[in-house]
């Protein structure tokens, strides 16, 4: 079947680059969309999709998209910034520094270490590596955590308000539901707070820049990889 590519991008310069890269790899049938409304209308009649992440909605209401995205961002916040009272943070930080001294002196499996843990750390969920790393990091890490938490709350408020939504996520979701190969090509780093909550659901994605532009060449390489179906449509 002849390939018919949908490119979803709202910036004309990026769209031009994407078209050029598609033509370079021999794609002659190219459809473009600048917003989610257009993309969803075109998807049933195409074979492949390359989409930006942050795109306008067009004339669509974003209410349902906000309702779906908000819990994902809240869950991510709770995972990335586990709840810990700041007084507790300082208390556990001192305890864990003391614990490290005991571990270095007596070893990981020593009775001394086990006794220390049972007496002092029973209330600390040590299975949560993220929390432990934050506590062990001390004051500097604590400040970074607080700032990151504040930034994440701002991202969540923007999502709730329907601002700067990653609507390209729904382009990918629709394509996947139809078993249409798709890829996200974005300038937003994958560990950015606006991207991280969706990262695992957006593979494959390309978030590198080449000469200040999105790397459409690499994105199309992933999209047209003969192994795509085997890798990403395993179910």
Least confident of 3-12, 36-45, 120-129, 158-167: 120-129
Residue 34 CA, chain-centre distance (Å), reads 22
Q: Looking at the structure, do residues 79 and 156 belong to the same domain, yes or no? A: yes
Please give the average per-residue pLDDT across 147-161, as a whole number: 92
One domain, residues 153 and 83: yes
Clarify whether residues 81 and 152 are in a common domain: yes
DSSP β-bridge partners for residue 185: 206
Is the confidence at residue 84, as pLDDT, over 70?
no
Are 39 and 33 in contact, with CB atoms under 8 Å apart?
A: yes
For 38-68, the pLDDT digits (tens) are: 999 999 999 999 999 999 999 999 999 999 9
Among 111, 129, 160, give the residue marking a domain's end: 160
Q: Which residue range is the domain that position 196 belongs to?
A: 4-62+165-232
Structural domain includes residue 56: yes
pLDDT at 1 over 90: no
Cβ burial of 143 (10 Å; 0-12, 13-18, 19+) is: exposed
For residues 223 and 184, membership in a common domain is answered with: yes
Q: For residue 69, is it within any domain? A: no
Task: Classify residue 182 by burial, with Cβ atoms within 10 Å: 0-12, 13-18, 19+.
Answer: buried
In a domain, 174, yes or no: yes
pLDDT tens digit sequence for 91-137: 777 777 888 889 899 998 899 888 887 777 655 544 344 555 555 55
- Same domain as 176, residue 223: yes
Measured between alpha carbons, how far is 88 from 151 in angstroms, rounded to an integer?
Answer: 22
Domain for residue 20, yes or no?
Answer: yes
Domain limit, last residue, from 160, 182, 199: 160
Tally of CA atoms within 13 A in the half-sphere of 8 that contains its CB: 34
Q: Average pLDDT in the 201-207 region?
A: 95
Q: Are residues 80 and 156 in the same domain?
A: yes
Do 79 and 150 belong to one domain?
yes
78: pLDDT strictly greater than 70: yes
pTM for the model stands at: 0.78
Q: List the beta bridge partners of residue 182.
A: 49
Q: Which residues contact 235 (CB under 8 A, 6 or more apart)?
A: none
The domain total for the chain is 2
| 173 and 214 part of one domain | yes
Classified as helix, coil or strand, 210 is strand
Among 111, 135, 160, residue at a domain's last position: 160
If asked whether residues 26 and 141 sit together in one domain, one would say no
170 and 153 both lie in a single domain: no
Same domain (yes/no): 79, 139: yes
Between 230 and 197, whose confidence is greater?
197
CA angle 146, 150, 152 (to 5 degrees): 115
- Comparing C-alpha atoms, which of 85, 51, 17 is closest to residue 222? 51
């Amino acid at each position: 079947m002849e390939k018919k590519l949908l490119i979803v991008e709202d910036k004309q310069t990026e769209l031009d680059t994407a078209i050029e890269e598609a033509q370079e790899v021999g794609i002659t049938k190219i459809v473009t969309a600048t917003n989610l409304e257009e993309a969803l209308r075109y998807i049933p009649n195409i074979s492949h999709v390359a989409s930006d992440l942050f795109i306008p909605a067009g004339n669509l209401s974003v209410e349902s998209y906000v309702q779906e995205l908000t819990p994902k961002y809240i869950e991510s916040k709770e995972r990335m910034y586990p709840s810990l009272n700041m007084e507790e943070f300082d208390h556990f930080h001192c305890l864990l520094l003391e614990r490290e001294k005991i571990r270095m002196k007596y070893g990981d499996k020593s009775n001394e270490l086990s006794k220390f843990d049972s007496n002092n750390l029973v209330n600390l969920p040590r299975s949560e590596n993220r929390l432990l790393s934050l506590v062990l990091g001390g004051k500097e890490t604590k400040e970074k955590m607080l700032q990151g938490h504040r930034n994440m709350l701002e991202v969540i408020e923007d999502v709730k308000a329907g601002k700067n939504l990653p609507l390209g996520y729904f382009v990918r979701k629709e394509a996947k539901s139809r078993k249409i190969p798709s890829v996200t090509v974005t300038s937003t780093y994958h560990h950015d707070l606006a991207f991280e909550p969706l990262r695992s659901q957006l593979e494959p994605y390309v978030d590198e820049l080449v000469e200040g532009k999105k790397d459409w060449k690499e994105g199309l390489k992933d999209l047209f990889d003969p192994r795509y179906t085997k890798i990403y449509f395993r179910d």
